[in-house]
Amino acid sequence: MQFLLLVLILAGLAYVAWRMIRASANSPRTRVVGPDDDPDFLRRINNHPDPDAH
């Protein structure tokens, strides 16, 4: 009887751990905004005169 209870507890813990891992894997990731995602940055570098052009 104690063996069956131990198996049920271990199975329950394994199920809870599996659900937590799946929930964290499906969570949305935070996204880093790079310079190519910033329209003001692109506007500034596109309108900046080229220092090498004379």
pLDDT at 33: 65
Domain assignment present for residue 39? The answer is no
pLDDT digit string (tens) for 32-46? 766 667 777 777 777
Domain assignment present for residue 22? The answer is yes
pLDDT at 10: 98
Domain assignment present for residue 38? The answer is no
Domain count, the chain: 1
Domain assignment present for residue 43? The answer is no
Q: Show the domain range for 16.
A: 1-28
Tokens of 24: 């964290």
Domain assignment present for residue 48? The answer is no
pLDDT at 15: 96
Domain assignment present for residue 47? The answer is no
Domain assignment present for residue 36? The answer is no
Secondary structure of 7-41 in the HEC alphabet?
Answer: HHHHHHHHHHHHHHHHHHHCCCCCCCCCHHHCHHH
Whether the pLDDT of residue 19 is over 80: the answer is: yes
The C-alpha atoms of residue 36 and residue 9 are separated, in whole angstroms, by 51
pLDDT at 40: 79
